[in-house]
Amino acid sequence: MPNDRLGRPLRDLRISITDRCNFRCVYCMPKEVFGRDYQFLPRADLLSFEEIIRLARAFVENGVEKIRITGGEPLVRRDVESLVAQLAAIDGLDLTLTTNGALLAAKARALRDAGLKRVTVSLDSLDDATFRSMNDVDFPVRRVLDGVEAAAAEGLPVKVNVVLKRGVNDGGIVDLARYFRGTGHVLRFIEYMDVGHSNGWRMDDVVPAAEVVRTIDGEFPLEPVEAAYRGEVARRWRYVDGGGEIGVIASVTGPFCGDCTRARLSAEGKLCTCLFAVRGHDLREVVRGGASDADVVNAIGAVWSRRTDRYSELRTAETATLPKIEMSYIGG
Ligand code: SAM
């Protein structure tokens, strides 16, 4: 289990199981780029569930303790429950999934029965008009909230992730805090990042984490909570009155590359060692090329041991315009 060149171990893996999504969030998969003619990956190019499981086991051999299933939108991939069941059978693995919540009400029970441990739901606004315009497919916020409630009713702990874009949904911070206080669901605010190159990111669009904390603290006083483990990306705060916890992920204003223990596997089997990678390492070629299990383990270890990425610590206005892999491809 090699550390990378900056001494960081491999602990977390995000597996994108599809590059498709049923939303067209303006900051992630804008319609002008991901329109009707957009060529998504052909089915034969996607890793099969069998290949994903084989790779997941090899990542665990390299030190991975936590896997997050993501996409695209993972719940649009057929039989996702069966993949969850097979991943959940891997010993000692913390398994979770990130979803936009659109199909969660229908799938929460099957996912829980398959062995999912918890779920993260992306939800950028409680205001229906704002939510519909951000997802850009006119999807009502109520149905995502139904998904959150269905997951909780099945006993799945829920985190709710909010990406804030200045002037778009930053007016709703306190409403979100008020709504989720006391529910046990942890609300987390993520700074809008310069992922990919189709979202036209500008620094002015970012709402700094410190501002989010100040805004909520002004209404519901907060106090800091110690980080639970090395590599925890969210800075945690709790309501002084016992109303629960929130987290802020300062990916832009407070980068955490020094503690980044995360790898990403794209739906077609490219291993990326940074969210801001320009290209990945082809593991599908390795698994389809007749490699033994030990060869697959070694291939992953070799990539990790050469890793030097720390993009967010080096970010400038210039780097933001460099070509990078899209989030919908690499897995959010
Ligand atoms: N479809 C699933 C979902 O909606 O959660 C999983 C994939 S999505 C790419 C994962 C997360 O990335 C979502 O919470 C989304 O809001 C976030 N995201 C996408 N583009 C982003 C960006 N430029 N900066 C910060 N977060 C972003």
The DSSP line for 23-64 is ---TTTS-TTTSSTT--PPPGGGSPPHHHHHHHHHHHHHTT-
Mean pLDDT to the nearest integer, 272-297 = 94
Q: What is the pLDDT at residue 228?
A: 77
Tally the residues of the chain: 332
| CA–CA dist 329, 132 (Å, integer) | 23
| Ligand 1 geometric centre to CA of 323 (Å) | 18
Q: What is the pLDDT at residue 74?
A: 98
Percentage of the chain lying above the pLDDT 90 cut: 82
| CA–CA dist 71, 18 (Å, integer) | 5
Assess whether pLDDT exceeds 70 at residue 150: yes
In the structure, what pLDDT confidence band is assigned to residue 43 with cuts at 50, 70 and 90? very high
Assess whether pLDDT exceeds 80 at residue 118: yes
Mean pLDDT to the nearest integer, 21-45 = 95
- Yes or no: say if 111 and 84 are a contact pair by the CB < 8 Å rule: yes
Assess whether pLDDT exceeds 80 at residue 141: yes
- Yes or no: say if 52 and 79 are a contact pair by the CB < 8 Å rule: no
Q: What is the pLDDT at residue 231?
A: 67
Task: Give residue-wise pLDDT tens across range 56-93.
Answer: 999 999 999 999 999 999 999 999 999 999 999 999 89
- Yes or no: say if 330 and 264 are a contact pair by the CB < 8 Å rule: yes
- Yes or no: say if 127 and 105 are a contact pair by the CB < 8 Å rule: no
| Ligand 1 geometric centre to CA of 154 (Å) | 24
pTM of the model: 0.95
Q: What is the pLDDT at residue 154?
A: 98
Reduced to 3 states (helix: H, G, I; strand: E, B; else coil), residue 272 is strand
Q: What is the pLDDT at residue 3?
A: 96
Task: Give residue-wise pLDDT tens across range 190-206.
Answer: 999 988 776 778 899 99
Q: What is the pLDDT at residue 137?
A: 98
| Ligand 1 geometric centre to CA of 166 (Å) | 16
Phi and psi, residue 239, nearest 5°: -70, 130
Give the burial class of 36: count Cβ atoms within 10 A of its Cβ; 0-12 exposed, 13-18 middle, 19 or more buried: exposed
Shortest CA distance to 255 belongs to which of 192, 180, 315?
A: 315
Residues whose beta carbon lies within 6 Å of some atom of ligand 1: 21, 27-28, 70-71, 73, 98-100, 122, 161, 163, 190, 192-193, 195, 199, 327-328, 332
